[in-house]
């Protein structure tokens, strides 16, 4: 089986886990639940929960405590996409070839569906932990989840990104945006996996460093695909960054330097992972594939 | 000192506690933090954190564990107001005599500021709990917070309320909306106070029952003020429900029956509290005042 097939297989497995946490579409709040589930079920590789579970396995984790966290990180990712797509933000009508949430359910319901998913992420983990007697690893994982999603994490990056539109920004600000907007949830995913499996402090540091490089490489690759990719494969119009007058890694550094940076960051991340006393070959293959995904 | 003065004094005390949890306005995400703080600092009686702290005191609570929860409930309340005021929802330009968040900071920042506050509520509590060694009461309180805010709590009520606009709805649906939209956070506030102070199950039940009545009475009184109130005092235009073609308790039951229901619910809530083996006279005075607040 090649890596693409292996990832597809794992996507199916991850999806089976995380969709088990979706709420039933009933009651007077039915519409918002439908909108939440519609967005959550829009597909994708389920990269974040997959990275979380693979990092958990890397450190020998074999329980189910990671599962509600997998659902939660995907809910947070989904909420951020719904709100990013709103008319007041990126104003996107399509994502992954499907109509975006606010196009189908209206803008008010789009806002509330995003809110609902963000809150449901916490509810999901907290309800699952009720069964666990006090578990300090789970408490630490929950703090990482919250920090990664908020103003010092993903949301901070979204804000800087919104403000940067139509402006020329420098490398420092672009790094901030990339590190937060895309990087924060990838870092949280891998770190939560490590923490739940009982990784020690130095191992957690290594995972965090590798994850930061992975997140950055992933986002730079996204910029590269935006100028050099194929709409049918990447699922959104090529050249949308240029249309939106966005400063990207490619506009700042050029296509060639950007590609070299992806290579360098990717190599550094994998070198760090290779230094760990434990190994998960699929995790490394997965990271390589994700970073260097083709046009 | 009359009850109004006492409440003002307590508002100042509560405000000093909760504003201590606001984030510093710095970094590339500065604008969203300014927007969050602008909304949070827009005033109000700080009813929810005050009810939480008074219920905590009722059951003999005297520590500081309640404080991050007080900040968190006010952050959640504030986020819900920001998103409710957005053009896609209620489209309100003013609240408490000040311009609403999206009017000052733009719609994108309004959406993100709401998101930021919701997430910060969890970050605030989780960070504060890091100091506490595992505390099962705090874990229970956090679950109550999350449930009260989400699709089975406040958000569920908002959704049904949005869908009800321009429609005639029946008593059952209206009760659902009131119980969730206004009631859920009031119930969470009082219940979290009770839980953190170590109330037993039957006491928690009594608090929950009283809080449901208080929340409903509070919302009905809001409807009454909307037809019979004074704009300068209530801080929004009189008759806005009628303008928005909203079904309210008053349109369904009439002004007189609505007033009687406020009395009945209020009396029932206070009777329940009077049956507890512990008493907090200020809490009862506070509830009476809030429910029967004048035009």
B81-102 pLDDT, tens digit each: 999 999 999 999 999 899 999 9
Q: What is the pLDDT confidence band of residue B292, given thresholds at 50, 70 and 90?
A: confident
Subunit contact A142:B119, Cβ cutoff 8 A: no
Q: What SS3 class is residue A37? A: helix
Residue A235 has pLDDT above 80, yes or no: no
Q: Which residue in chain B has the smallest CA separation from A127? A: B143
| pLDDT value of position B43 | 86
Subunit contact B28:A160, Cβ cutoff 8 A: yes
Kindly state whether B185 is in contact with chain A, defined as any CB-CB distance less than 8 angstroms.
no
Subunit contact A150:B27, Cβ cutoff 8 A: no
| pLDDT tens digits for range A10-65 | 999 999 999 999 999 999 999 999 999 999 999 899 999 999 999 999 999 999 99
| pLDDT value of position B293 | 75
Task: Pick A122's closest partner by Cβ from B146, B158, B163.
Answer: B146
| pLDDT tens digits for range A168-207 | 899 999 999 999 999 999 999 999 999 999 999 999 999 9
| pLDDT value of position A165 | 85
Kindly state whether A108 is in contact with chain B, defined as any CB-CB distance less than 8 angstroms.
yes
Instruction: Answer yes or no: are the C-beta atoms of B142 and B125 closer than 8 Å.
Output: yes
Q: Got the DSSP string for B49-91? A: HHHHHHHHHHTT--SSTHHHHHHHHHHHHHHHHHHHHSTTTT-
Residue B294 has pLDDT above 90, yes or no: no
Q: Which residue in chain A has the smallest CA separation from B28? A: A160
Kindly state whether A86 is in contact with chain B, defined as any CB-CB distance less than 8 angstroms.
yes
Tell me what the mean pLDDT of segment B136-154 comes to: 96
Residue B280 has pLDDT above 90, yes or no: yes
* Least Cα separation, residue A14 to chain B (angstroms): 24
B116 vs A231, residue with greater confidence: B116
Dihedral sign, CA of B148, B151, B154, B156?
Answer: negative
Tell me what the mean pLDDT of segment A2-10 comes to: 95
Q: What pTM, to 2 d.p., does this model score?
A: 0.95
Which residues in B lie closer than 8 A to residue A36 (C-beta atoms)?
151
B227 vs B241, residue with greater confidence: B227
Q: Distance between CA atoms of B151 and B154, rounded to whole angstroms? A: 7
How far the first Cα of chain B sits from its last, in Å, is 21
Partners of B94 in the beta sheet?
A: B99
B49 vs A238, residue with greater confidence: B49
| pLDDT tens digits for range B223-232 | 999 888 765 5
| pLDDT value of position A237 | 61
Which residues in B lie closer than 8 A to residue A106 (C-beta atoms)?
88
DSSP A22: P
Q: Distance between CA atoms of B123 and A143, rounded to whole angstroms? A: 7
In which element (H, E) is residue B235 found? Answer: none
Q: What is the pLDDT confidence band of residue A245, given thresholds at 50, 70 and 90?
A: confident
Length of chain B: 295
Subunit contact B29:A159, Cβ cutoff 8 A: yes
Residue B17 has pLDDT above 90, yes or no: yes
Q: What is the pLDDT confidence band of residue B233, given thresholds at 50, 70 and 90?
A: low
DSSP A212: H
Q: Where are the beta strands (DSSP E) in chain A?
A: 94-95, 98-99
Subunit contact B115:A83, Cβ cutoff 8 A: yes
| pLDDT tens digits for range A112-166 | 999 999 999 999 999 999 877 668 899 999 999 999 999 999 999 999 999 998 8
| pLDDT tens digits for range A59-92 | 999 999 999 999 999 999 999 999 999 999 999 9
Mean pLDDT is lowest, of A210-224, B233-247, B254-268, B273-287, for B233-247
Q: What is the pLDDT confidence band of residue B12, given thresholds at 50, 70 and 90?
A: very high
| pLDDT value of position A295 | 45
Provide CB contacts within 8 A for A25, sequence distance 6+: A33, A34, A37
Write the ipTM: 0.95
Residue A234 has pLDDT above 60, yes or no: no
Residue A231 has pLDDT above 60, yes or no: no
Here the tokens at position B52 are 């939480």
| pLDDT value of position B121 | 98
| pLDDT tens digits for range A254-295 | 999 999 999 999 999 999 999 999 999 999 999 998 888 764
Subunit contact A139:B129, Cβ cutoff 8 A: yes
Subunit contact B155:A114, Cβ cutoff 8 A: no
Kindly state whether B89 is in contact with chain A, defined as any CB-CB distance less than 8 angstroms.
yes
Here the tokens at position A21 are 């946490």
Dihedral sign, CA of B54, B58, B60, B65?
Answer: negative
| pLDDT value of position A147 | 98
Q: Distance between CA atoms of A99 and A95, rounded to whole angstroms? A: 6
């Amino acid at each position: 089986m090649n890596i693409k097939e292996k990832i597809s297989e794992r996507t199916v497995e991850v999806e089976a886990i995380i969709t088990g946490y979706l709420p039933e579409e009933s009651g007077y709040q039915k519409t918002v639940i439908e909108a939440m589930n519609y967005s959550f079920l829009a597909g994708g590789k389920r990269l974040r929960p997959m990275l979380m579970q693979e990092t958990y396995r890397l450190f020998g984790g074999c329980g189910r405590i990671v599962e509600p966290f997998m659902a939660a990180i995907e809910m947070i990712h989904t909420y951020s996409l719904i709100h990013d797509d709103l008319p007041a933000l990126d104003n996107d009508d399509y994502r992954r070839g499907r109509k975006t949430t606010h196009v189908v359910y209206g803008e008010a319901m789009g806002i509330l569906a995003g809110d609902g998913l963000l809150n449901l992420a916490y509810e999901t983990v907290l309800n699952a932990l009720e069964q666990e007697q006090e578990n300090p690893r789970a408490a630490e994982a929950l703090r990482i989840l919250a920090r990664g999603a908020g103003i010092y994490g993903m949301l901070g990056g979204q804000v800087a990104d919104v403000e940067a539109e139509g402006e020329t920004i420098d490398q420092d600000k672009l790094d901030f945006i990339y590190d937060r907007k895309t990087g924060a949830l990838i870092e949280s995913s891998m770190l939560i996996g490590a923490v739940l499996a009982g990784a020690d402090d130095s191992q957690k540091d290594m995972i965090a460093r590798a994850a930061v490089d992975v997140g950055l490489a992933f986002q730079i690759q996204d910029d590269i695909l935006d100028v050099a990719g194929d709409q049918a494969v990447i699922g959104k119009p090529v050249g949308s960054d240029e249309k939106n007058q966005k400063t990207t890694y490619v506009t700042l550094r050029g296509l060639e330097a950007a590609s070299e940076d992806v290579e360098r960051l990717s190599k550094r991340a994998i070198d760090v992972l290779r230094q760990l006393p434990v190994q998960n070959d699929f995790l490394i293959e997965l990271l390589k594939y994700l970073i260097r995904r083709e046009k």
